[in-house]
């Protein structure tokens, strides 16, 4: 029964590398290598201030590959939290897959295991929850549990042409494309504002 009473919780799921911070082909192996994208932390804070809870769903196969350990992962998260606090924002939880592709887990995106974990942890139906990422697998993982897909043209998608971005988005029906996380936040909050205004007009 609790599931229904908590379902009103406003939740946004973000990818990390390439969406919130600069991506690296050689993995982010230290806190020093973690660099936020312009406007990304402010976007999280804006969502928070509007009542949205923000969680991360991130593949971190560098753990499984032995490129860094949990202490490093925690140090990166501590840096993220510290910088975000300065902006008045927060990340409510981090869900990550430490496995390498050959491990056969169900939590490595594009599989939806992380998103199922999020739904269970927060007691929410993931249908309609926005998922924001820079790659096809982010969108596929979220869409598998009914999330609303949003692609940002940063990270991996920054390397794509307009046609390639449209082709990628077409693989996950309903995908909305944004320049970056700040553009997503502006779009999402404006949409919420319009929905409230429409509901008020009907009332």
State the catalytic residues: 15, 17
As given in the structure block, the two tokens for residue 180 are 């970056």
Beta-bridge mates of residue 151? 133, 177
Q: Could you tell me the CA-to-CA distances from 193 to 49, 52, 147, 187, 188 in Å, in that order? A: 13, 13, 20, 10, 9
As given in the structure block, the two tokens for residue 18 are 């390439």
For 58-69, letters b (16+ CB in 10 Å) and e give: bbbbbbbeeebe
- Phi-psi group of 18: left, alpha or beta (phi > 0 → left; psi -120 to 50 → alpha; rest → beta): left
């Amino acid at each position: 029964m609790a599931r229904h009473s908590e379902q009103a919780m406003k939740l946004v799921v973000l990818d990390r590398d390439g969406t919130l911070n600069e991506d690296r082909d050689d993995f982010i192996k230290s806190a020093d290598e973690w660099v936020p994208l312009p406007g990304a932390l402010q976007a999280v804070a804006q969502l928070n201030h509007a009542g949205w809870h923000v969680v991360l769903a991130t593949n971190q196969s560098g753990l499984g590959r032995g490129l860094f350990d949990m202490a490093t992962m925690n140090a990166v998260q501590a840096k993220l939290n510290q910088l975000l606090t300065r902006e008045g924002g927060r990340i409510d939880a981090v869900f990550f897959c430490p496995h390498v592709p050959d491990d056969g887990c169900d939590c490595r995106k594009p599989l939806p295991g992380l998103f199922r974990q999020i739904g269970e942890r927060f007691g929410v139906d993931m249908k309609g929850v926005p998922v924001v990422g820079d790659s096809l697998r982010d969108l596929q993982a979220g869409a598998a549990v009914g999330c609303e897909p949003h692609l940002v043209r940063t990270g991996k998608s920054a390397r794509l042409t307009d046609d390639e971005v449209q082709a990628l988005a077409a693989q996950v029906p309903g995908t909305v494309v944004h320049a970056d996380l700040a553009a997503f936040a502006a779009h999402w909050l404006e949409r919420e504002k319009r929905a409230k205004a429409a509901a008020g007009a009907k009332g």
